[in-house]
């Protein structure tokens, strides 16, 4: 499953992304964790030391290399220079499985807490004042567009705070989005934004209440998000230890919070896996970007990159392996 963690800044989405990644990996699942947040804290939350975090190559600084890998032998893509973040895969593209040896994981992934960690990377000096973070997050979108995940395999993505992911088709790349909300008006406000923007795009949003202290907090969340409230994560000494730079074993996590993580996995596993929809939405957002700006910027008809005979998914991956 492809799983996003979203929420307002400070809601705890990075902490829950890390805990969920650790929980899945400890259960024997294959997990890739992607830090796509401008603040780039997922590696630290997974227990990496500063020098280990610095060793994770930033996806956003290697866009040309990533495009060249993913372009493969797709005849509809003349060169890596004509690829944009929404360019969909087609026949001949280099599809990715979840194996640590695939070219993207091998080049940009590093082991962390039993998972493979990748990161879009921080702003650098050349970006300041002239670039937005979408250019770096676009690397994660390209990766997800070409990733075929199977049973027992999970891509967990820590998104930027707020509703920033709606600046592209990134928000449609997930089977389920866990929106982390504190029991505050600001916390539930991001859910309303997400729900409004996603309403017409078949996006599965499930609210995880965080930093919940009592039944009153649960009732507040239920009042404001209704049936979208799926589970609650309580105040946690374990999490406080994480935030102080310590990383106790999962066996020390509070029982109720372990149950919440287990429910989250069950919830993700029951989300519908619809490769036809995934393919269709990829094409729709690519066509929209092509018409809005990309054709003029690149000087080419980018809608012609859409392969009408191609459907993303396990069958396409098997066809690639058979070539």
pLDDT recorded at residue 63: 95
pLDDT recorded at residue 197: 86
Rounded Cα distance, 123 and 37, in Å: 11
Query: Does a structural domain hold residue 189?
Result: no
Query: Does a structural domain hold residue 318?
Result: yes
Mean pLDDT, each 10-residue run in order, the chain (323 residues): 92 95 98 95 95 95 96 97 96 96 96 97 57 72 97 96 73 94 91 86 92 96 94 92 88 95 94 94 95 96 98 97 89
Give me the long-range contacts of 195-202 (CB less than 8 A, separation at least 24): 195/228, 197/163, 197/166, 197/171, 198/166, 198/171, 201/171, 201/172, 201/281, 202/172, 202/274, 202/277, 202/281
pLDDT recorded at residue 172: 92
Query: Does a structural domain hold residue 251?
Result: no
Q: Tell me how many domains the chain contains.
A: 1
pLDDT recorded at residue 64: 95
**Which residues are CB-contacts of 282 (< 8 A; sequence separation ≥ 6)?**
86, 88, 89, 145, 169, 172, 312
pLDDT recorded at residue 134: 56
Query: Does a structural domain hold residue 234?
Result: no
Query: Does a structural domain hold residue 190?
Result: no
Domain holding 146, by residue range, is 2-181+260-322
Domain of residue 10, CATH code: 3.40.50
Query: Does a structural domain hold residue 112?
Result: yes
Q: What is the pTM of this model?
A: 0.94
Query: Does a structural domain hold residue 115?
Result: yes
Query: Does a structural domain hold residue 279?
Result: yes
């Amino acid at each position: 499953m492809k799983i996003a963690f979203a929420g307002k800044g400070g809601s705890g989405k990075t902490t829950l992304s890390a805990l969920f990644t650790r929980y899945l990996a400890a259960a024997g699942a294959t997990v890739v964790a992607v830090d796509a947040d401008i603040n780039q804290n997922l590696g630290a939350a997974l227990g990496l030391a500063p020098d280990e975090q610095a060793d994770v190559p930033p996806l956003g600084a290697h866009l040309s290399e990533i495009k060249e890998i993913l372009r493969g032998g797709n005849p509809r893509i003349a060169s890596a220079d004509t690829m944009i973040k929404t360019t969909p895969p087609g026949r001949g593209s280099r599809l990715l499985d979840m194996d640590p040896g695939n070219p993207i994981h091998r080049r940009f992934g590093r082991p962390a807490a039993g998972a493979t960690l990748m990161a879009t990377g921080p702003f650098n000096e050349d970006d300041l004042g002239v670039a937005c973070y979408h250019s770096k997050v676009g690397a994660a979108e390209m990766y997800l567009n070409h990733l075929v995940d199977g049973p027992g395999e999970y891509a967990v993505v820590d998104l930027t705070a707020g509703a920033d992911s709606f600046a592209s088709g990134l928000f449609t790349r997930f089977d389920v989005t866990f929106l982390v909300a504190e029991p505050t008006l600001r916390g539930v406000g991001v859910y309303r934004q997400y729900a409004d923007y996603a309403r017409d795009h078949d996006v599965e949003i499930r609210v995880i209440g965080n930093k919940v202290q009592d039944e009153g907090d649960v009732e507040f969340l239920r009042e404001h998000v209704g049936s979208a409230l799926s589970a609650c994560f309580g105040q946690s000494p374990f999490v406080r230890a994480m935030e102080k730079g310590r990383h106790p074993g999962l066996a020390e996590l509070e029982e109720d919070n372990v149950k919440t993580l287990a429910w989250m996995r069950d919830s993700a596993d029951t989300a519908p896996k619809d490769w036809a929809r995934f393919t269709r939405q990829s094409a729709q957002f690519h066509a929209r970007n092509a018409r809005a700006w990309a054709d003029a910027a690149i000087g080419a008809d980018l809608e012609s990159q859409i392969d009408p005979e191609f459907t993303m998914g396990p069958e396409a991956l098997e066809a690639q392996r058979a070539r």
